[in-house]
Structure 1
Amino acid sequence: MKKFRLTGLLAIMLLFTTACNTNHKYSRYPCYVVIDNSVHQDPVLAQAMTPYAGVFVTLTVTSHGGAQYFRFVSNQNTFHESIFNAIDSRRSFQLGMNGALIVGFGNSTDATFYAYDRECPNCFNPDAIPVRSKPLAVASNGIATCPVCHRSYDLNSGGFIVSGDSGDKLIRYPASSTGALGVLSVR
């Protein structure tokens, strides 16, 4: 009977350990973005919202002269800014942990649309005071690299580490795209 109790206790401990695993598919951090590219018709964002393109765009919000803009920087060395329209101005945006996302379709055959946090999950601490950004650099081949820890992550297939020390994969958010000139939604 003691052997059963010990085994039962180990099973319960294993269940709780597995239930508390922090390596889930999607982030626990808040993120909310909706951009209607049928209105904006941003060519850089359209590239990232094209299936099988392997183009990833870093999305941030900036302002000039009191107006807010979406800023899109592609891993293909293109960038564009698109001014907020009236609907955008009424929306509340939460761009990941530190104000930036990387979005795009991978070049794999499953046509998955990805949205990643731009911060390195192994170096950035959103609870640190002061918050210090650890942004990833995105190469044309869809590999994002942290300049601090030198880990490289594959954006085309779930943000897994492809070189460097072991650690956490990229922080991912639920996202969808209805096509190049459609709606981008990250939640």
Structure 2
Amino acid sequence: MSLEFLLTSLIVVVTPGAGVLYTMAAGLSRGGRASVVAAFGCTLGIVPHMVAAITGLAALLHASAVAFQVIKYLGVAYLLYMAWSTLREQGALRVERDTAPRPALRVIASGVLVNILNPKLTIFFLAFLPQFVTAGEPSALLRMVELSAVFMLMTFVVFIGYGLFAAAIRNHVISRPKVLSWMRRTFAAAFVALGARLALADR
């Protein structure tokens, strides 16, 4: 495993995106356990992109403008839905003192959707992974699976860090309604901004 791969992956993972926002929102709204579950869901959402890149489906997505646009706008719609739900206090950032657990499958499903509806992630895997596989390597497929697994593990660990940080400041947020209101607006605006960026993305 090259240092270049690890550093590049770390930069990509640490850069805040929809998955980070969702995981932090889970930590703020329901605490540490929920943030870990959310991080798992977001990480699980990487699997389809990994499979697509390894099997060559990403190349088809890259070549087909229609397929790319359909997935892209589904992702945009979901991010806008997340923003709308957050503002209505019914979405990811619904913060209450009662930390009754939200169904884990629901949290995981939302996390999976956050990442799975992003065609840029598939294209990223298509362009990123092959750079670290030696041409003519007999076990190239196994090598790509190994690299993908490391990327997913790094994603899971980093997202948990973001989520637990959010959970740690949860009580401070709950005790300050104005702060909570501004954070809700900030998260909603961030989801809208990510949706806009995805809408403007080219293949």
Higher strand proportion (structure 1 or 2): 1
With the length of structure 2 as denominator, give the TM-score of the two structures.
0.25
With the length of structure 1 as denominator, give the TM-score of the two structures.
0.27
Higher helix proportion (structure 1 or 2): 2
Query: Greater RCO between the two (CA within 8 Å, min separation 6)?
Result: 2
